[in-house]
Amino acid sequence: MLLRSRGRGRGYSPLRGAIETALRAAYVGDWPARLWSRITTEVRRVDVTLRAPVNLRIGFASDLHLGPTTPMRTLERAFAILGSAELDVLALGGDYVFLDATRAKARALAALVASVPARAKVAVLGNHDLWTEHALLEDALQSAGVRVLVNDAVEIDGVSLIGLDDPWTGALDAERGLARAASETKIVIAHAPEALPGVAGRVRAMLCGHTHGGHVALPRGRPIVVHGHVGRRFPHGVHDVDGTTLIVSRGLGGIEIPLRTFAPPDVVVLTLRA
């Protein structure tokens, strides 16, 4: 049983280690993923269009959670949707694995990302990534042409894409990320909505995931449990916060509970239109 994080992530407790040890045993053979794939592989495309000085199309996927509770068919469908969206940029919001980062999962991640044609690809890491051997995941992303951003920014066609570190387990530094941005139009990519307070009103939009829309939700998508004050306020969807458009994806994969209710997986296509 693990007592501490295998990566640089904070907040990995002995209780977390005990839970993950039990789940490895309970989900041996990846039976939840096989069962889920027989029920549904639905993935929704969420389209958002914003006015901006430039034209740019950004695809966003988060919370893949490669592991025993996520059907590969769901992920393949999601990346097929993004692959046909004529993207300029592919942005990835973290939590690429659940339980462990392995070489097999890293190869699968690289293949999914490489299947999407885009002129630029960027990514941030999530809490589950930082609790495991995240160097494997970073190497896989880089092999697929992705730049992993940690409180840093890149410029694409007059737009600053700012990638922030995970607000739960990493070392979030919004000021550093914003200082690295050179363009007037700024788009933040973060794993979780908890990164919002440092950038609200200062950027055009923020893309994030982490909440899964509650994962297990009531009819009309009302989540039962969402961690974090900001996440509970904005569990999914598109919101205006002090002039910043906050886009919270439900993500794609599964975690401890091997099913979703009223929280269907989704990917986001954000179009900036002059």
pLDDT at 166: 98
**3-state SS record for the chain:** CCCCCCCCCCCCCHHHHHHHHHHHHHCHHHHHHHHHHHHCCCCEEEEEEEECCCCEEEEEECCCCECCCCCHHHHHHHHHHHHCCCCCEEEECCCCECCCCCHHHHHHHHHHHHCCCCCEEEECCCHHHHCCCHHHHHHHHHHCCCEECCCEEEEECCEEEEECCCCCCCCCCHHHHHHCCCCCEEEEECCCHHHHHHCCCCCCEEEECCCHHHCEEEHHHEECCCCCHHHHHCCCEEEEECCEEEEECCCCCCCCCCCCECCCCEEEEEEEEC
pLDDT at 120: 98
Question: Any idea which fold 14-273 has?
Answer: Purple Acid Phosphatase; chain A, domain 2 (3.60.21)
pLDDT at 4: 85
pLDDT at 220: 85
Range 143-169 average pLDDT: 98
pLDDT at 258: 82
Whether the predicted pLDDT of 221 surpasses 90: no
pLDDT at 90: 98
pLDDT at 118: 98
Whether the predicted pLDDT of 3 surpasses 80: no
Structure-model confidence comparison of residues 144 and 259, the more confident one: 144
Structure-model confidence comparison of residues 73 and 220, the more confident one: 73
Of all residues in the chain, the percent with pLDDT exceeding 90 is 94
pLDDT at 179: 98
Whether the predicted pLDDT of 56 surpasses 90: yes
pLDDT at 1: 72
Average predicted confidence (pLDDT) for the chain = 96
Whether the predicted pLDDT of 71 surpasses 80: yes
